[in-house]
């Protein structure tokens, strides 16, 4: 039976809660122990003690104590609530939800429990549960608009658009005062409702609602854009054209507006002259608009292309705009355009040759043309690296201190496969403008491509925050610098340092975990702020966050590395017979040596970085004193990761995400096949293979993998293999 | 190139552009905080001419402006603030930074009734100062000593958004005039919000919103926007999602 507390101790219990809330953990603990001295089996106090211990980092003891408290007092909502909080803090949301539900059953009126539960439900996308919770919360406090909006969001996410709209309408009808025009929440709620109407597919009604209810909404751009889109969809051409024009007057750099206008004017997409006239109109109206001048190059052909390209290119080269090649290279998929652009650039150069001013801006005119041609011959669709080098050398001769020219020279070396020279050249470019982080980042990247991890980190350290504990790497990790972590990992992988490579790829995975958790606070924050459309956008983006190329690249790297590790382990296990294995053994020993050396170098670099940090201006270091001490990484060099005995099992953590979020990426399917084959999961391997074949039947690995699979199941006669054989047979007979 | 309002899915590549270009960096949550608090104010420049690399290609961000409203303005006047602005070195001289800024300023007035916008800039960053002062018309308010983590001072700059406010008021009045018969509700309320410069004496100068609040004089000045660096401290704690004084280090 649960113990009951005397008045004095009940008061003491309240102070425990207060101390916890104020993060006065020591005092809280002391008070809790005072109660437990007299009432050693008081569940609520035990739970609170567990909660405080958890905040002090004693996770295991906290869970044990909370569990014990529950066995003593199963009927206490506090015990269940604490249990839920513990799970929530350790990101086990499913268990947390279960605990919260028990707590709520015991204390149905608790708004705090209800609110916490709702947030967990939307975080794990239990939309049905979320609808129920938000419904209960609305019932408890129907006077708050937030609660109505929240229920509508829950319905929308669940897919019940009609209910979502109805809820919003019900609230609107209940409003007694007309909200101020400056009321953000009201303005956003109206626009949010409008997006729901459109999402239901009723564009006509969405337009009517927009015109009647959203005229004064504060997000004027959104109103204008929605209106233009609706009018376009409804084929109300004339009004649509007017709406698109109004948008172009606001922002003549947004291609969608031009496309919308062209659609509304019903211009035949083959009528180049008529299309061009539209763009020309805006190029004349807004002379500084790039889009109006550049977009026509996409559809123009023949002589009109040449004329337009000439005028564009001349203008850009005269002004020395460094991005002109980047702005045109997409045209190169069309061979005629590629040749025309080259001819124009050469012509420009010829005409301007000799007009270089000694003291003028060398990035303009001749310098710009040489730079353009160097990039042209460096691009994969028009590559001639000798010519590229020739042009870039001429450009450098003109201006030996131009960062962009040297940067391109480094790129040419890279394409020649000379990573050492590329790294050197990029570092030279960096030295010409040491205040620019962009060129600094590029220099570090090229150092990594040349396997100079230590040097790269030093380069990056020129711009990272000096006072960050743990040096540049810690700062780059904190700041979620994905590109560096990926490139660093890949370089370690090439150098044979499996530990550090896995460490970096795992860090990327962890950062994606953080990005997913980042939404947590916004489930309540956004309701307070009222920016509902942005919130829903965020939710939808977060749903597929791991499809991002940042994730895919690191995950695929990791899977391939684990596959390698598996192969090596197999080879080592069979390594006693045959000369082939013997050399493999040597190879492995060699690699081990290299890894050891790399590890030592990395430790040295880390030590040096730490020393450097220690030597920083003490004033700067103390400025951040209030920062919480960072949790110590117990495997900074990834040695534990590299010591795995089950590399294929570890690979699954990455592979599952690849196959779930980027199924259309053939490289992922191919890697999936390789993993499943080695795990002898032939049906799953077949599934990857089928997916790969559907994506690109011509891919060289696809054929190989079919043969591999066939061979593997040939001699087997278990149920799985039989099924695979059957499918394969059907595939090849058809 | 495409200039448009920021979407949450842009954020990883905005963060990438930021850490590639500038020494003041933020974690993803700080970008989310901007995107979910003032989604109308942040803009990106996208390289649309880049061929897609896979089925999961995200638009390449070559420039961005990350902006917000000051939540508790010390002077009591509603105003915007530029948290970070940068353009990739490879995309300079296209006027991108200026275009991003103008879009953001327009939205600050329209959506949040801002009276002015403020920012910090390194005193050594001549290119950025040129953009703010000469192209956009910012005035240096004061110098903040040792604002940056590395000890550099910052200019605190301000731009009065009065001209955009007036243009908007005129436009709303004009709309009202057209609608008088159909719609009797006056827009006075919205116009007068904030009080300052609420008068409607300005005659319609036509093309009120043309190319977004462009300053015709500035348009003629020679552009040379290099990577623009803006420092507003590091947005460390968004933990509680409460705005903090970012100038503390």
Contact state of B36 with A538 under an 8 Å Cβ cutoff: yes
At A355 the pLDDT is: 75
Question: Under a CB-based contact definition with an 8 Å cutoff, are residues A255 and A244 in contact?
Answer: no
Contact state of B207 with A326 under an 8 Å Cβ cutoff: no
Distance CA B138, CA B102 (A): 12
Contact state of A437 with B20 under an 8 Å Cβ cutoff: yes
Residue A734 confidence (pLDDT) above 60: no
Question: Under a CB-based contact definition with an 8 Å cutoff, are residues B137 and B175 in contact?
Answer: no
> Tens digits of per-residue pLDDT, B28-66?
999 999 999 999 999 999 998 777 788 899 999 999 999
**Greater model confidence, B164 or B243:** B164
How many residues would you count in chain B?
249
Contacts of A290 in chain B (CB under 8 A): 1, 94-95
Neighbours of A549 (CB within 10 A): 18
At A604 the pLDDT is: 65
> Tens digits of per-residue pLDDT, B178-194?
655 454 444 444 433 43
Distance to chain B for A268, nearest Cα, Å: 23
Mutate to test the interface with A, among B87, B90, B214 (most CBs of A within 10 A): B90
Distance CA B36, CA B57 (A): 23
Contact state of B36 with A535 under an 8 Å Cβ cutoff: yes
pTM of the model: 0.87
Alpha-helical (H) ranges within A107-252 are 111-123, 127-140, 145-158, 161-174, 184-199, 203-213, 220-233, 237-250
Q: Which of residues 518-557 of A touch B (CB under 8 A)?
A: 518-519, 521-522, 525-526, 529, 531, 533-535, 537-538, 541-542, 547-550, 552
Pick the range with the lowest mean pLDDT from A156-160, A228-232, A627-631.
A627-631
In a 10 Å sphere around its CB, with 0-12 CB exposed, 13-18 middle and 19+ buried, how is residue A83 labelled? Answer: buried
Q: Classify residue A561 as left (phi > 0), alpha (psi -120 to 50) or beta.
A: alpha
User: Which residue is it, tokens 């040489």?
Assistant: A370
At A605 the pLDDT is: 63
At B149 the pLDDT is: 86
Average pLDDT over residues A718-732: 83
Distance to chain A for B138, nearest Cα, Å: 21
Contacts of B56 in chain A (CB under 8 A): 547-549, 552, 662, 664-665
Mutate to test the interface with B, among A190, A368, A480 (most CBs of B within 10 A): A480
Average pLDDT over residues B203-208: 32
Contact state of B38 with A531 under an 8 Å Cβ cutoff: yes
At A608 the pLDDT is: 62
> Tens digits of per-residue pLDDT, A472-520?
999 999 999 999 999 999 999 999 999 999 999 999 999 999 999 999 9
Which tokens sit at A605?
A: 């670099």
Question: Under a CB-based contact definition with an 8 Å cutoff, are residues A363 and A371 in contact?
Answer: yes
Which tokens sit at B40?
A: 């109308």
**Greater model confidence, B186 or A539:** A539
Note whether A488 contacts B: Cβ–Cβ < 8 A: no
Distance CA B46, CA A323 (A): 13
Which tokens sit at A334?
A: 């069309």
> Tens digits of per-residue pLDDT, A85-130?
999 999 999 999 999 999 999 999 999 999 999 999 999 999 999 9
User: Which residue is it, tokens 């070559």?
Assistant: B62
In a 10 Å sphere around its CB, with 0-12 CB exposed, 13-18 middle and 19+ buried, how is residue A57 labelled? Answer: exposed
Residue B205 confidence (pLDDT) above 60: no
Distance to chain A for B168, nearest Cα, Å: 11
Residue A685 confidence (pLDDT) above 90: yes
Distance CA B80, CA B165 (A): 13
What is the crossing angle of helices B28-37 and B11-21, to 10°? 120
Contact state of B56 with A552 under an 8 Å Cβ cutoff: yes
Report residue B82: phi and psi, to 5°: -90, 115
Contact state of A255 with B2 under an 8 Å Cβ cutoff: yes
Q: What is the CA radius of gyration of chain A?
A: 32
Q: Which of residues 273-292 of A touch B (CB under 8 A)?
A: 286, 288, 290-291
Residue in chain A closest to B228 (alpha carbons) equals: A436
Assembly ipTM: 0.89
Contacts of A623 in chain B (CB under 8 A): 249
Residue B195 confidence (pLDDT) above 50: no
At A570 the pLDDT is: 92
Q: Which of residues 133-172 of A touch B (CB under 8 A)?
A: none
Contact state of B89 with A404 under an 8 Å Cβ cutoff: yes
Cα–Cα nearest to A495, from A460, A461, A450, A562: A450
Using CB atoms, pick whichever of B21, B28, B62 lies closest to residue A480: B28
In a 10 Å sphere around its CB, with 0-12 CB exposed, 13-18 middle and 19+ buried, how is residue A419 labelled? Answer: middle
Residue B18 confidence (pLDDT) above 80: yes
In a 10 Å sphere around its CB, with 0-12 CB exposed, 13-18 middle and 19+ buried, how is residue A172 labelled? Answer: middle
Residue A677 confidence (pLDDT) above 80: yes
Cα–Cα nearest to A299, from A263, A327, A271: A271
User: Which residue is it, tokens 């939540």?
Assistant: B71
Output DSSP code: residue B52: P
Residue in chain B closest to A252 (alpha carbons) equals: B211
Classify strands B79-87 and B116-122 as parallel, antiparallel or unpaired: parallel
Cα–Cα nearest to A270, from A244, A239, A304: A304
Q: Which of residues 217-246 of A touch B (CB under 8 A)?
A: 218-222
Residue A319 confidence (pLDDT) above 50: yes
Residue A616 confidence (pLDDT) above 60: no
- The per-residue DSSP string of A307-330 comes to HHHHHHHHHHHHHT-TTHHHHHGG
Distance to chain A for B50, nearest Cα, Å: 6
Report residue B119: phi and psi, to 5°: -160, 165
Average pLDDT over residues A235-259: 97
Distance CA A254, CA A248 (A): 8
Contact state of B3 with A253 under an 8 Å Cβ cutoff: yes
Output DSSP code: residue A266: T
Q: What is the CA radius of gyration of chain B?
A: 19
Q: A137: which residues sit within 8 A by CB, 6+ positions away?
A: A111, A114, A115, A118, A147, A150, A151
> Tens digits of per-residue pLDDT, A619-645?
333 333 333 445 678 899 999 999 999
E strand or H helix at A711, and its extent?
Answer: helix A700-714
Cα–Cα nearest to A206, from A180, A221, A183, A225: A225
Contacts of B2 in chain A (CB under 8 A): 253-256, 291
Contact state of A537 with B7 under an 8 Å Cβ cutoff: yes
In a 10 Å sphere around its CB, with 0-12 CB exposed, 13-18 middle and 19+ buried, how is residue A452 labelled? Answer: buried
Residue A706 confidence (pLDDT) above 60: yes
Contacts of A218 in chain B (CB under 8 A): 110-112
Question: Under a CB-based contact definition with an 8 Å cutoff, are residues B63 and B88 in contact?
Answer: yes
Contact state of A518 with B149 under an 8 Å Cβ cutoff: no
At B239 the pLDDT is: 43
Question: Under a CB-based contact definition with an 8 Å cutoff, are residues B165 and B197 in contact?
Answer: yes
Pick the range with the lowest mean pLDDT from A330-339, A561-570, B124-133, B210-219.
B210-219
Question: Under a CB-based contact definition with an 8 Å cutoff, are residues A124 and A97 in contact?
Answer: yes
Report residue B120: phi and psi, to 5°: -115, 145
Alpha-helical (H) ranges within A22-126 are 25-38, 43-55, 59-72, 77-89, 93-106, 111-123
User: Which residue is it, tokens 């240096």?
Assistant: B140
Edge-to-edge strand list for the sheet holding B79-87: B2-5, B43-47, B60-69, B79-87, B116-122, B154-160, B139-144
Question: Under a CB-based contact definition with an 8 Å cutoff, are residues A207 and A234 in contact?
Answer: yes
Whole-angstrom distance between the N-terminal and C-terminal Cα of chain B?
A: 36
For residue A117, the SS3 value is helix
Alpha-helical (H) ranges within A379-497 are 385-398, 403-415, 419-431, 437-449, 453-460, 471-478, 482-494
Contact state of B211 with A521 under an 8 Å Cβ cutoff: no
Which tokens sit at A11?
A: 């008061």
Residue in chain B closest to A441 (alpha carbons) equals: B20
């Amino acid at each position: 039976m649960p113990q009951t507390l005397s008045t004095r101790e009940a008061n003491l219990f309240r102070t425990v809660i207060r101390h916890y809330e104020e993060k006065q953990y020591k005092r809280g603990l002391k008070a809790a122990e005072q109660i437990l001295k007299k009432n050693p089996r008081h569940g609520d106090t035990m739970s609170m003690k567990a909660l405080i211990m958890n905040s002090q980092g004693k996770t295991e003891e906290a869970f044990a104590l909370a569990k014990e408290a529950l066995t003593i007092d199963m009927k206490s909502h506090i015990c269940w609530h604490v249990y839920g909080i513990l799970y929530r803090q350790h990101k086990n949301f499913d268990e947390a939800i279960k605990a919260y539900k028990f707590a709520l059953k015991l204390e149905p009126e608790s708004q705090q429990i209800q609110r916490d539960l709702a947030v967990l439900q939307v975080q794990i996308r239990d939309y049905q549960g979320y609808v129920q919770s938000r419904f209960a919360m609305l019932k408890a406090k129907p006077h708050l608009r937030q609660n109505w909006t929240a229920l509508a969001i829950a319905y929308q996410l669940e897919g019940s658009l009609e209910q979502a709209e109805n809820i919003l309408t019900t609230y609107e009808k209940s409003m007694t005062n007309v909200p101020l025009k400056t009321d953000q929440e009201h303005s956003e709620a109206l626009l949010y409702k409008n997006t729901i109407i459109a999402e239901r597919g009723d564009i006509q009604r969405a337009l009517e609602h927009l015109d009647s209810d959203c005229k004064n909404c504060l997000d004027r751009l959104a109103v204008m854009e929605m209106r233009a889109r609706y009018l376009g969809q409804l084929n109300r051409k004339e009004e649509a054209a007017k709406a698109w024009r109004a948008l172009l007057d606001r922002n003549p750099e947004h291609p969608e507006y031009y496309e919308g206008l062209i659609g509304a004017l019903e211009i035949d997409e083959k009528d180049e002259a008529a299309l061009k006239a539209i763009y020309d109109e805006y190029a004349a109206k807004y002379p500084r608009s790039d889009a109006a001048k550049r977009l026509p190059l996409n559809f123009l052909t023949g002589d009109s292309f040449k004329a337009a390209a000439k005028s564009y290119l001349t203008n850009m080269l005269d002004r020395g705009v460094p991005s002109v090649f980047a702005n045109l290279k997409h045209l190169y998929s069309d061979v005629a355009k590629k040749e025309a652009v080259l001819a124009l650039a050469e012509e420009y150069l010829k005409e301007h040759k000799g007009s270089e001013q000694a003291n003028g801006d060398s990035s303009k005119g001749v310098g710009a043309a040489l730079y353009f041609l160097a990039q042209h011959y460096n691009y994969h669709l028009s590559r001639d690296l000798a010519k590229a080098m020739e042009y870039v050398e001429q450009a450098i001769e003109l201006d030996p201190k131009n960062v962009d020219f040297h940067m391109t020279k480094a790129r040419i070396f890279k394409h020649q496969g000379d990573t050492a020279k590329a790294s050197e050249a990029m570092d030279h470019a960096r030295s010409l403008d040491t205040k620019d982080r962009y060129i600094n980042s590029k220099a570090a990247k090229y150092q990594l491509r040349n396997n100079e991890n230590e040097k790269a980190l030093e380069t990056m350290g020129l711009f990272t925050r000096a006072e960050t504990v743990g040096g540049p790497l810690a700062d780059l990790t904190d700041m979620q610098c994905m590109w560096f972590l990926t490139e660093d990992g890949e370089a370690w992988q090439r150098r044979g340092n499996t530990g550090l490579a896995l460490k970096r790829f795992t860090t990327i995975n962890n950062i994606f975990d953080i990005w997913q958790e980042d939404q947590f606070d916004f489930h309540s924050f956004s309701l307070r702020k009222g920016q509902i459309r942005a919130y829903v956008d965020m939710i939808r983006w977060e749903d597929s966050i791991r499809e991002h190329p940042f994730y895919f690249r690191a995950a695929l790297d990791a899977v391939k590395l684990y596959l390698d590790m598996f192969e090596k382990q197999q080879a080592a296990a069979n390594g006693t017979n045959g000369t082939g294995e013997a050399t493999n053994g040597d190879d492995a020993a060699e690699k081990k040596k290299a890894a050891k050396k790399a590890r030592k170098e990395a430790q040295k670099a880390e030590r040096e970085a730490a020393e450097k940090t220690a030597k920083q201006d003490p004033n700067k270091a103390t400025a951040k004193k209030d920062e919480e001490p960072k949790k110590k990484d117990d495997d900074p060099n990834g040695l534990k990761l590299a010591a795995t005995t089950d590399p294929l099992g570890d690979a699954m953590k990455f592979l599952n995400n690849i196959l779930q979020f980027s199924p259309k990426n053939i490289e992922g399917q191919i890697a999936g096949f390789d993993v499943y084959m080695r795990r002898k999961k032939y049906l799953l391997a077949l599934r990857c293979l089928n997916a790969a074949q559907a994506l690109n039947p011509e891919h060289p690995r696809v054929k190989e993998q079919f043969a591999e699979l066939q061979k593997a199941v040939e001699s087997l006669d278990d149920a799985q293999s039989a099924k695979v054989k059957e499918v394969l047979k059907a595939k090849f007979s058809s | 190139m495409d200039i448009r309002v920021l979407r949450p899915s842009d954020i990883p590549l905005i963060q990438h552009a930021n850490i590639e270009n500038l020494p003041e960096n933020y974690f993803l949550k700080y970008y989310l905080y901007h995107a979910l608090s003032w989604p109308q104010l942040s803009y990106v420049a996208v390289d649309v001419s880049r061929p897609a690399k896979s089925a999961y290609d995200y638009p390449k961000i070559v420039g961005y402006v990350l902006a917000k409203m000051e939540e508790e303005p010390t002077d009591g006047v509603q105003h915007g603030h530029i948290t970070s602005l940068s353009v990739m070195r490879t995309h300079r001289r296209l006027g991108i930074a200026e275009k991003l800024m103008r879009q953001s300023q327009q939205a600050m007035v329209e959506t949040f009734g801002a009276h002015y916008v403020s920012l910090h800039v390194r005193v050594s960053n001549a290119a950025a100062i040129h953009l703010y002062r000469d192209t956009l018309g910012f005035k240096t308010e004061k110098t903040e000593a040792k604002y940056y983590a590395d000890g550099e001072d910052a200019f605190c700059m301000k731009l009065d958004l009065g001209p955009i406010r007036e243009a908007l008021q005129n436009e709303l009045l004009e709309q009202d005039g057209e609608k008088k018969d159909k719609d009797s509700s006056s827009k006075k309320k919205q116009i007068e919000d904030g009080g300052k410069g609420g008068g409607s004496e300005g005659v319609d100068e036509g093309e009120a919103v043309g190319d977004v609040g462009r300053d015709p004089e500035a348009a003629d000045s020679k552009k040379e926007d290099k990577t623009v660096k803006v420092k507003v401290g590091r947005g460390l704690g968004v933990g509680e999602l409460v705005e903090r004084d970012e100038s503390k280090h």
